[in-house]
Each structure stands twice: as C-alpha cells, then as structure tokens.
Structure 1
Amino acid sequence: MTSRRDILKGGRLAATASLLPGAVFAQAAAPPAPTLFAPKVGRWRSFQIVTTVEILKPEGKVQAWLPVASFGNPDWFKPGENSWTTNAAAAKLVRDPASGAEMLHLQWAEGAASPKVELTSKAVTRDWSVDLATPGTPAALTADERRVNTAATDLIPTSGIVRETSDRIVAGKGDDLQKVHAIFEWIVENTYRNAATRGCGIGDIAAMLKSGNLGGKCADLNALFIGLVRSQGIPARDVYGLRVMPSQFGYKSLGAGSDIVTKAQHCRSEVYLSNFGWVPMDPADVRKVVLEE
C-alpha cells in the first residue's frame, strides 16, 4: 500500500494546485459574518483542479504519485476526467487496491532535467444535507462495503484501548444514531486542534489515547472519531480532498480563500446510519472554528 511518504521519491518538490474558474472567489472575497449553520441540498457545480509539480533538485530515477479524484457518492460528488502534460518517460493512472485511492504515477528517465507535470482533474459536486429527524430506508451496504468500513487498520485499530474508550462513551445508548452522537460530542469536548501539527496529522489514534494527548488536526481527530465508531460495529470512513469554495456560512477557516488551493487539503468523516445511509460529519472542523474563530 502506498504511504504518504512514498508519494514523492527522488527529489525536492515544488507544487501548486489551482481551481478554475476563479471568478467565484473574487465575488466572495469578503464573506459575511458567520450565520446559523444550516446546510441544504444545493445545485450541482463543476470544478477543474490544475496541479503543477516541478522537481527542483532531481536525483537518480525520479517518480511521483499525484492524487486524483477517485471517491464517488451519487448524492453529492462525481469524479470526472483527468488529463496531463509532462516530460516524464511514463505516466499512467493507478489505484491502490486497499484504499481505492487513485493516483497519477509518473516516472522520469534517470538523470532527466527539470521533471515536471501539469495535471488537470475535473469533478462535479453539490452541497449536501441529511435530516436526522426524518428516518428513511437507505440502500443497504453490501457485505464487502460493511467489512471495509468497519475494519481495523494500522493507524485506526478497533480493539484494545480504542474499544474500551468507545464502550465507556456509548454506555447506556441505544441505536446507532445515539451512539454516534455520543462519540461525536465526546470528540468535540475532549480533543483540540493543534496548529503546530504538521500537515493534516497522521491519525495514530491508539498512540493518542495511550498518551492522553488528544490534540492534532483533521486527520487525527476524524481518525479518532472513525475508530471509536467502527469499534461499535458501525461503518465509518474518512474522506480526503480539497476545500474548493469559501464557506457559505462565513467561516474563513472552513473554506478556500482564493483560487490557489495548494494548502487547502482536508479530511472529514462519513458514518453509515441504518435509517439514514451515509451521513457527513466533521468534529475536527468544530474544533478548528473554536480555535480560529
């Protein structure tokens, strides 16, 4: 399985990601003060992400793996086409069999000067909302989908201290909605956003619980949330991507501030509830607003 540190090998990297068109940011340069957080299902919108990478000091045989949109949910996100221009000797789309993440894998000839690539990825998305006061009959998960989304991983175990902590949190709770609500509230009350954490964090949740240090960024806090939920046998998953629009509720820290989204990476959660299907959740963003706004 490809790890984050394996994404680039053989040199230092200069990379930018931009979002087209940029007019929407010019129109929203001064977002209003935060308003009541009440998301609604919105219209479908198309986006084009342009990622430019140049290896500044290539050494030996250089390779790079650039993530592309591969996650899909028919309710709110549909990945589109990818195209690229590069001086690499070989370039092809590859998929990690364990996570399903798709990447553009590039290989340059040994000694190649100024390795570079420009990748254009398209996607269609819309605002999404789930009314937890109105149960329904969602499409059931397949056995394989349930297995994948309740499984333990190296960084998100579901036994030991994780299960013990989860059991304490949900004690006395009934259905999956009540249990997930309790875990969400526990994350918000007991964790904190640490601005000094590098990147999005690494999400080593057992180490967090054992040390008692429950600080971090989105990958840490959402991984902890997901692990606690999965340990109850409830399907949950983390979704990695980019913030591509300003927050419509006026939170500067929860949206892209310009059409340059190089540092707009984010991770959030989705939980499958028996009466609602996949529901987006993000306790890490609650902690971010508490710290920054």
Structure 2
Amino acid sequence: MTRRDVLRTGAALSTVAFSSLPAWAAFAPKPGTWRTFELITRVEIAKPAGPMQAWIPLPAYADPAWFKPGGSTWETNAITAEIARDPKYGAEMLHVVWQEGERAPAVEVRSAFATQSRAVDLSAPTGPHTLSDAERALNLAPTELIPTDGIVKETSDRITANAGSDLDKARSIYDWIVEATHRDAAVRGCGLGDIATMLQSGNLGGKCADLNALFVGLARAAGLPARDLYGLRVAPSAFGFASLGAKNEVVTKAQHCRAEVFLTDFGWVPVDPADVRKVMLEEPPGNLPLGDEKVTEARKALFGSWEGNWLAYNAAHDVALPGSRAPALPFLMYPQAEVKNVRLDCLDADAFKYALTAREIVT
C-alpha cells in the first residue's frame, strides 16, 4: 500500500466531531493513548503575477515516544513540487513553483501523523542520559534572535544563581518566565522570538514564539541544551481547557510552539511556560490570577508534560527557503509564498490565502 493509499483510506474513515469541549478537569497529561490525525493544508496565491513559489511546512519531526509522522501527499497545478529539507535542522517543507501566467496557483497537501501526550516523572531520575557532541552543540548554540551572551546570559545567571542541579536551573527559568512575563494579545501571529530586544526593552509581553524562545535562550545561556518545537494545535484539550486546544477542525490560526530542555537525569523534558500565560489571559472568564486553580494546574503540568493534541513540524531556526532570495525566516511554522520574488505576509489573508484543517481518524 502506498502512502497515498494510506491517506485516502484514512480520509474515508469517520472523524471525531468537535461538538463541544469537555468539562474542565485537573490538567494532567499522561502518555498511553496514541491518536491518528490527517492535516489538510491548502494554499492559494490570491493575486498571481510573475514568478510564484510557496513553501508548506510538513509535520515530519519524529520521536517514537510521542510523535510519528505518516508522510504527505499533494495535488497542485505547479510545474514543480518537491520535498526540501533544511540542511542544519532537517525541517521538511513542500516547495512548489508555478509557471508564470498561471491564473489560479494552488496546492493542497495531506499529511498523516500520530501523537500522544507526554509526561516525565521528575521525582524519579532515569539517567544518566547523553547527547552526542553534535546534538549538544546544536542545542546550546545561539541563533539570530536567540543569543546566549550579553543581557541573555546576565539574566540567566541572575535567575539561576541559587540553583544547584540542572533540574533546579530549568525550573527556576520556567518559574521566572511564568511570573515575569505576560501574554500580549496584540502581538501578530505567534510573535518573533527576539529575546534580547524583549530583555533590553523591559517589555516581556509576547506569545508562544516569544516566551518559549525566552526559555530556550535562558536555558542555553545556563548551559542546558534546549530547543523550540514549532507546530499546530489539532484537537480540543481533553481536560476542558478552552485556551489549550483547537476550537474546531479549521486550525488555520492554531499555530503553537513548545519547548524542551535536556536534563542528564531525565533526557528531553517538555516545558511550555507560554501556555501558562495563555491560560491566565484567555481561560474563561479571562485574566485569571497566578493563584487561580486552573493556572496552578497548568503551571504544575507544563513543566514536565504536555497534551497530545498538537503536531510538531520542526525545531529549526534561521531557515533559508530554497529558491528564495529573501532573508532567512526566524522559524518555519506558517506556509510561506513569494510573488515576483517578494515574500508575502503569511498573516495577510488578502494577499496570501491558506487554510488548515485537522481531522482525527478513528477506525
């Protein structure tokens, strides 16, 4: 059976309805139940002209403990369509190029994947765990918007001054972000992740790409390998947290990045301080205090676990799109396109149309 056959079969199966969110329950994700999804990404160039190309991120990140990509297929009127990979991080994308004069440039991508929740018992070390020299260097290195020196290093040193173990350092950074930052609803998309500017300005507001990048940068500056994972929410929260899941099958604006930190005693540990601030701002009735029960539950759980209602595209930074003359992207989480060699604003629906639909496949 080919990958296309698998996807066609999956699409024919019944899907889970988004009829209503479950009642709120204690937020405690646990592994054990794998869920299979199909993501459909449709991209159109609203105002075709001259040379045109697009890049669609693919959910190809793989970790046998919690995420299994199932491959992608596509239909398009482009003259070329091929999978490209970022040489440094291995991020996968579909690169399509349309012939000049094409009146209705479009591509539809179907991607299959399976995922489950994660939870690390931080009271029971399982190490020592190790990284290769190359993996350690990659996940300690600065990026264009995530430096590890200057004000980032100074802030990290101050936060971790009284921390003994690596676990204590990671928790200190997590707690500091939860308490010192805020989610800024006015920020476009998921933010940029320009952490030095955040710290220098004293404006610690942002969204997931800002706040979780801040965790990654501060952790790396403290000598802890860490990384952002860029992805998409694809289903409601099973615990009834309206702010931590997709509202329906249309997930066009449900992009979300998460973070991981590597601890010798535990291996890669999931963290998401940005979602704690999201719960505070958005969870009904809104503007919840740090001491609210829902916030307390989320804060406890999101240092060491996360819910499996989310897909991972990649962990890439400073992504140069193949065939493009434009500057590298800070990260690849949204479809991208260019018309006449000009990069379109991926958040401007008038110039660049795309739609993402996620369906859970049940047998």
Per-residue deviation, residues 210-235 of structure 1 (Å, max 9, x unmatched) = 00000000000000010000001111
Per-residue deviation, residues 44-97 of structure 1 (Å, max 9, x unmatched) = 121110111111111101000000012111110011211000000000000111
3-state DSSP of counterpart to 1:110: coil
2-side partners of 1:142 and 1:93: how far apart?
27
Paired residue for 2:53?
63
3-state DSSP of counterpart to 1:25: coil
Paired residue for 2:298?
none
Paired residue for 2:17?
25
Q: Where do 5+ consecutive residues of structure 1 fail to align?
A: 1-18
Q: Name which of 169, 181, 197 aligns with 2:159.
A: 169
- 1:36 is displaced (CA, Å) by 1.6
3-state DSSP of counterpart to 2:278: helix
- 1:100 is displaced (CA, Å) by 2.0
Paired residue for 1:197?
187
Q: Where do 5+ consecutive residues of structure 2 fail to align?
A: 1-9, 284-363
Per-residue deviation, residues 151-172 of structure 1 (Å, max 9, x unmatched) = 0011000000000000000012
Letter in 1 for 2:233: R
- When normalised by structure 2's length, the TM-score is 0.73
Would the aligned equivalents of 2:36 and 2:113 in 1 still touch at CA under 8 Å?
Answer: yes
Matches within 5 A, 1:86-105: 86-105=76-95
3-state DSSP of counterpart to 1:91: strand
- 1:22 is displaced (CA, Å) by 7.4
Matches within 5 A, 1:104-183: 104-137=94-127, 139-183=129-173
Counterpart check, 1:278 vs 2:268: yes
Per-residue deviation, residues 99-132 of structure 1 (Å, max 9, x unmatched) = 3211000000111110001100111111111110
- 1:253 is displaced (CA, Å) by 1.0
- When normalised by structure 1's length, the TM-score is 0.90
Report which stretch shifted further, 48-57 or 203-212. Answer: 48-57
1-side partners of 2:141 and 2:68: how far apart?
25
Q: Name which of 200, 218, 228 aligns with 2:208.
A: 218
Q: Name which of 63, 71, 75 aligns with 1:81.
A: 71
Counterpart check, 1:209 vs 2:199: yes
Would the aligned equivalents of 1:31 and 1:252 in 2 still touch at CA under 8 Å?
Answer: no
Paired residue for 2:279?
289
- Aligned pair count reads 273
Paired residue for 1:236?
226
Paired residue for 1:245?
235
1-side partners of 2:14 and 2:267: how far apart?
34
